[in-house]
Every structure is written in C-alpha cells, then in structure tokens.
Amino acid sequence: MGKKALAFLGSAAALIYIINPTAGVVEFIPDNVPFFGNIDEATATALLIWGVKTLFDKGNKDEPQVLDDQKH
C-alpha cells in the first residue's frame, strides 16, 4: 500500500471519527476521563492534518526547503 493510499484511508477514518466522536460507534477513550478523554480526538485530528498534507503535497523532495528571507 502506497503512502498516498494510506494517507487517504487514514484521513477518511479520522474525518469520520472527528465528525461523529460521541455517537457511540467507536469511542476509544471516554470524554469524561479528565485530560485523557480528548486524546483520541486530538490523535484523529493530527492524523487528518497529516493525511491532507500528504495528499496535497506537491513539493519537490530533491530541493531543500528555503525560507523567503534566506534566498539570495
């Protein structure tokens, strides 16, 4: 399975989990547990952000990233 396919599947799963986190379908950590209750939603959000970044990344991997103020 390629990286883009994994990013797509992970993003889709994370989006479904984020949209419907308390419907009782799957709740890995109950939200009423102090502090730890929101870790599963935070993890799903991080997975979604990574997946979207991976799917839409068009950067050239051979060329190093240079900030605008470092260009000469």
pLDDT along the chain (72 residues), means of 10: 88 86 63 77 90 82 61 54
pTM: 0.66
Residue 64 has a pLDDT of 59
Q: Is 57 left (phi over 0), alpha (psi -120 to 50) or beta?
A: beta
Residue 66 has a pLDDT of 64
Contacts of residues 38-47 at CB distance under 8 Å and 24 or more positions apart, as own/partner, are 41/17, 44/13, 44/14, 44/17, 44/18, 45/14, 45/18, 47/10, 47/11, 47/13, 47/14
Contact 57, 44 (CB under 8 A): no
